[in-house]
Amino acid sequence: MPARLLPIVLFLSLLLCGAIVSAGQNRNEAATLAGRITGQVRFADTGQPAYNVLVSCDNINGGLVGQVQTDRNGRFTFTPLTLAQFNITVRVNGYIEETQSVELMTSPSAYLQFQLKPDKSKPAVTANQGVVDASVPESARREFDAASKALATGKKEGTEEAVNHLEKALAAYPHFAQAALMLGTAYMDLGQWDKAEHALKQTLEINPQAANALFALGELYHQQKHYDQAEKTLVQGLTIEPRSYQGHLNLARVYWDTSLQIKDEAQARPGLEKAYEEVKKSLELKPDFAPAHIVKGNLLLRVHRVEDAQHEFEEYLRLEPKGPFAEQARTTVDKIKKALASQPPAKP
């Protein structure tokens, strides 16, 4: 790369790296990416929404398309999708696995409802994510349901109200792991890191296999710049749930931020290579995961692959034209284009 371009590259890399906090087909497929599958998962025995449950989308001809976790109302979305046929599968420990087939050729959108039935041959683990243990007393269930409704408002006041309900739920039933996990993430939303760490560790005491608690705790350590702890915790979570695209992205960000502390490129390269491998895994699991394209773009800028980085930022803009990083990505693309256009043509 011409030397005059390097300062621009490094400037653009630093411009975006601070904004990264938390999907893509090839361009020649873009015109066919118009499909959308949404739905909701509930537990048939309680009628309650299934929170934090893993939902998989598989193209019947092409394997895994992506995985998402249900929100606090049990809802999930896969988009954009090719106009093809898919299998949507919900797997929850202690409940019978459910799969529904969807074809988007005649209609580009579909809405699914899942009612998960208990698997009596495989009772749910007490602390399983998304599953309310049958032994939870009614008083704790009521507080948990009230917290879910408060969080659904998306407002700070709702989060604060949810914290009060969840604390009451745990006082009534200290082994209520789902409430502890929700409390930990609520405290993270409020920026109360010590209380969040305590709640997440409480979740892991109840169920050491609660991968989502490990992912949340890893992100908490990352936010506090405790990079060694963040790496160890996220790797532990990925050992339990290796197909978590969010977990792989979070680990990539830890390696990325660690490399930013190292000025010497040769010394920083091992961390950058680890970050690149993790973001690749994230995008293999969910090609349309827009934030991963931002991280990949920054990594490519750091190693001076400017045109490849431009493609990643453009992919993000295609997927989330009004996303939280859209303005920065658009500005970066424009600057890359101008920098490249200003270079003299290569000599034959």
Q: What is the dihedral of CA 40, 235, 310, 301, to 10 degrees?
A: 160
pTM over 0.85: no
Least confident stretch, 126-130, 197-201, 202-206, 296-300: 126-130
Q: What is the pLDDT of residue 230?
A: 96
Among 116, 143, 164, give the residue marking a domain's end: 116
63 and 184 share one domain: no
Percentage of the chain lying above the pLDDT 90 cut: 42
Q: Specify which residues 89 forms β-bridges with.
A: 56, 99
Query: Other CB atoms closer than 10 Å to residue 345's CB: what's the count?
Result: 5
**Residue 150 placed within a domain:** yes
- In this prediction, residues 338-348 reach a mean pLDDT of 78
Q: How confident is the model at residue 227 (pLDDT cuts 50, 70, 90)?
A: very high
Q: How confident is the model at residue 335 (pLDDT cuts 50, 70, 90)?
A: very high
**Residue 204 placed within a domain:** yes
102 and 214 share one domain: no
13 and 77 share one domain: no
39 and 19 share one domain: no
Q: Specify which residues 49 forms β-bridges with.
A: 42
The answer to whether the beta carbons of residues 217 and 38 sit under 8 Å apart is: no
Query: Is a pLDDT exceeding 70 seen at residue 28?
Result: no
Q: Which residues contact 142 (CB under 8 A, 6 or more apart)?
A: none
Q: How confident is the model at residue 306 (pLDDT cuts 50, 70, 90)?
A: very high
Q: How confident is the model at residue 143 (pLDDT cuts 50, 70, 90)?
A: very high
Nearest to residue 215, comparing CAs of 191, 192, 239, 198? 239
112 and 151 share one domain: no
Q: pLDDT tens for residues 168-225?
A: 999 999 999 889 998 999 999 899 999 999 999 999 999 898 888 999 999 999 999 9
> Residue 54: helix, strand or coil by DSSP?
strand
Q: How far apart are CA 147 and CA 164, in angstroms?
A: 8
Among 59, 87, 116, give the residue marking a domain's end: 116
Among 116, 149, 175, give the residue marking a domain's end: 116
57 and 160 share one domain: no
Q: How confident is the model at residue 49 (pLDDT cuts 50, 70, 90)?
A: confident
**Residue 144 placed within a domain:** yes
144 and 16 share one domain: yes
Q: What are phi and psi of 168, to 5 degrees?
A: -65, -40
Q: What are phi and psi of 169, to 5 degrees?
A: -60, -40
296 and 309 share one domain: yes
132 and 108 share one domain: no
Residue 65 belongs to domain with CATH number: 2.60.40.10
Q: What is the pLDDT of residue 203?
A: 93
**Residue 214 placed within a domain:** yes
> Residue 214: helix, strand or coil by DSSP?
helix
Number of domains in the chain: 2
Structural domain for 15, as ranges: 3-27+127-341
The answer to whether the beta carbons of residues 197 and 220 sit under 8 Å apart is: yes
Q: pLDDT tens for residues 228-262?
A: 999 999 999 999 888 888 899 999 999 999 998 88
**Residue 86 placed within a domain:** yes
Q: How confident is the model at residue 347 (pLDDT cuts 50, 70, 90)?
A: low
205 and 238 share one domain: yes
The stretches of the chain forming alpha helices (DSSP H) are 6-17, 138-151, 156-172, 177-189, 193-206, 211-223, 227-240, 245-260, 265-285, 290-302, 306-319, 326-341
**Residue 347 placed within a domain:** no
**Residue 44 placed within a domain:** yes
**Residue 71 placed within a domain:** yes
The answer to whether the beta carbons of residues 33 and 104 sit under 8 Å apart is: no
Residue 11 belongs to domain with CATH number: 1.25.40.10
15 and 39 share one domain: no
Query: Tokens 């006082």 appear where?
Result: 171
The letter for the amino acid at 303 is V
Percentage of the chain lying above the pLDDT 70 cut: 85
Q: What is the pLDDT of residue 64?
A: 79
Q: pLDDT tens for residues 64-115?
A: 788 888 887 888 998 888 888 899 999 877 788 899 999 888 888 889 999 9
Q: What are phi and psi of 117, to 5 degrees?
A: -105, 140
Q: What is the largest CA-CA distance in the chain?
A: 78
Q: How far apart are CA 145 and CA 149, in angstroms?
A: 6
64 and 156 share one domain: no
Q: What are the distances in angstroms from CA 276 to CA 10, 74, 231, 290?
A: 17, 32, 15, 15
Q: What is the pLDDT of residue 219?
A: 93
